[in-house]
Structure 1
Amino acid sequence: MVSIDICICTFRRPSLADTLRSIAVLETAGHAVRIVIADNDAAPSAQPLVDELAAELPFPVRYVHAPAANICIARNACLDAADADYVAFIDDDEVVTPGWLVALVSQSERSGASAVLGPVRAIYGDDAPAWMVRGDFHSTLPVFVSGRIRTGYTCNMLIRWSAPFHSLRFDLALGRSGGEDTDFFYRLAALGGAIDYAPDAVVEEPVPAERATMAWLVRRRLRFGQTHGMLMDTSPLRSLPLVAAKISYCCVMTGFTAFSPVLRRRNWLRAVLHMGVARGILGLRQAEHYGLPAAP
């Protein structure tokens, strides 16, 4: 039996209620579970909702006000509040499947991995383009390089909260641009942490209309690539020619697959990813996508 803190960062999202209700019916296999919620709004706007739902939950809940409008402030507040054997992260617009947590812990116990990732299954609305649904462009899975996972994401993950990893924190400089999770996992790996994958640890994430566009996918891939390029330990003169070759190849493949609505877009997004890598290698400033002012 182990203890687990499930951490959720939130910013003005009513969908947090669905997230918490899905956690309420989790299978725990006897593990001790606590929920930590970090509210990243300038005002403690999520507290009334959290207080209301806490009475429905079978697990203790800790609410932390962690202003403002920088996701890393909220993530670090969760880590500062954590005192369990494991820390799990999910997003405030996701719902977990009943076996999610047990699958993550079981995989970590079997493999001894320092961190375990689970899949995020995108749920498309009726108005999503047919090519997007067919290609499933929004689901999140780990990327294997030579059979190993080199980095990860915080929308579905579990980490052993013990030395030396409990000293890790998210980089505040990336709290508006994104890429803070990629950077976090690079540093975890540098400390000797192995990252594993639990395919049965499924969470589901609805895709809102504003994300069901090619423009949103392009911005996302560009940011992914730029974060990766920024973290690459290599000189521009050595790496840029290879990146340029990858961009060229993906552009050619985009032309060759022009007849396919899915493959054409997939190849173009790969080209955009490598364009982002080039931007990161050159040290160009990342655009800010998160934590921007919005009406409550």
Structure 2
Amino acid sequence: MTDTPSIDICVCTFRRKELADTLRSLAAMELPEGFRIGIVVADNDEVPSAQPLVLALAEELPLPVRYVHSPARNISLARNACLDASSADLVAFIDDDEKATGGWLKRLVETAQASGADVVLGPVKARYGAGAPGWMQVGDFHSTYPVFVQGEIRTGYTCNALLRMASPRIAGRRFSLARGQSGGEDTEFFDQVFGAGGRIAYASEAWVEEPVPSTRASFAWLTRRRFRVGQTHGRLLGSKRPGAGRVGELAKASAKAGYCFAAAGLAAFQPVSRNRSLLRGVMHVGVLSGLVGARELRLYGNEGGQDAA
């Protein structure tokens, strides 16, 4: 058994009833051959509120499930608790409101084996309810895909990711506690992996699905999310480009924001194009905020659950 490679699927949770559907979807998917596979659930609530659900499901699911209580309403603590609890060769992350599709893990592993990459990302497909605005559904504003820059993926996310834990670019690395309530801790983590020479690959068929609740199906929620994404990017840029380099980035972000808002004006009667340009402009304003060191928005640890998870 000790010679059999292993995979741990890690799920961080905070007062979210959809966790049961997530765990059941993991048990129902097609498994990659030749691996021992387990599930680690890290509960980020002050009290172990998810423990009864997890222990009950552990009795019915065919995969072994471990529960870890990691209180503090800091998502980085929960992510790090997953890494600390695992000794697996590969670690996959999926959010507690997502469902794995049948081939999810198998496709991630196949891409990792074929590419030799340190990290593999998969896409997250948003599933909208009937009450979501038409422009939002047509434009698919909530789905998540990696960003390619000159043919490379330079950062990532934890809502659909596989990590090769023996990689020297990953071994011992942990998520920033300072970003555990603002969000962006995963962007920073994968940015550092890439900066250390790590390679990030993309498995386009490794889908997970994420229902979009009514609380997120609004332009206001998207605005807050894009602004925070920009803030994180700005902070990372600022740390790499001090002095005159930062001034140049400020000028570039200002120009990009202006261009996007102008484009939104020209598309005033085309809701999808207009709102896409507005949100890109908001993201660049967030970059400006991050570059000047403004306080980042807090998206985690709210009463109703992890707003950004």
Alignment partner, residue 133 of structure 2: 129
Superposed CA deviations along residues 20-46 of structure 1, whole A, max 9, x for unmatched, are: 110111211322111000000000000
Indicate the larger mover: 20-29 or 207-216: 20-29
Where does residue 285 of structure 1 map in the other structure? 295
Residue type of the partner of 1:11? F
Which among 224, 229, 233 is matched to residue 219 of structure 1? 224
Q: How far does residue 59 in structure 1 lie from its aligned partner after superposition?
A: 1.1
Partner of 2:53: 49
The corresponding residue for 2:150 is 146
Aligned equivalents of 2:304, 2:208: Cα separation in 1? 27
Contact 1:24/1:56 (CA < 8 Å) preserved in 2? no
Secondary structure class of the residue paired with 1:210: coil
- Contact 2:32-2:105 at 8 Å conserved across structures: no
- Ranges in structure 1 where 5+ consecutive residues have no aligned partner: none
Any idea what the Cα deviations from partners look like across 1:178-222, whole Å, max 9, x if unmatched? Answer: 000000001111221100100110000000000000000000000
SS at match of 1:209: coil
Deviation, 1:294, is: 4.5
Unaligned runs of 5+ in 2: none
**2:209 alignment partner in structure 1:** 204
Give the structure 1 partner of residue 254 of structure 2.
244
> Which residue of the other structure, out of 61, 72, 75, is the alignment partner of 2:79?
75
Q: Which amino acid aligns with 2:171?
A: H
Alignment: residue pair count = 295
C-alpha distance in structure 2 between counterparts of 1:223 and 1:172, whole Å: 16
TM-score (norm. length: structure 1):
0.98
Determine whether 1:95 maps to 2:99. yes
Counterpart in the other structure of 2:17: 14
Matched with 1:170 is: 175
Amino acid at match of 1:248: G
Q: Determine helix, strand or coil for the equivalent of 1:158.
A: strand
Structure 1 runs of 4+ off > 6 angstroms?
none
Residue identity over aligned pairs, in percent, reads 58
Q: Which amino acid aligns with 2:222?
A: L
For the residues of structure 1 that align with 2:99 and 2:273, how far apart are their CA atoms? 29
Counterpart of 1:209, as a letter, is: S
Find out whether 1:228 has 2:238 as its counterpart.
Answer: no
Amino acid in the other structure paired with 1:53: L
SS of the residue corresponding to residue 228 of structure 2 reads helix
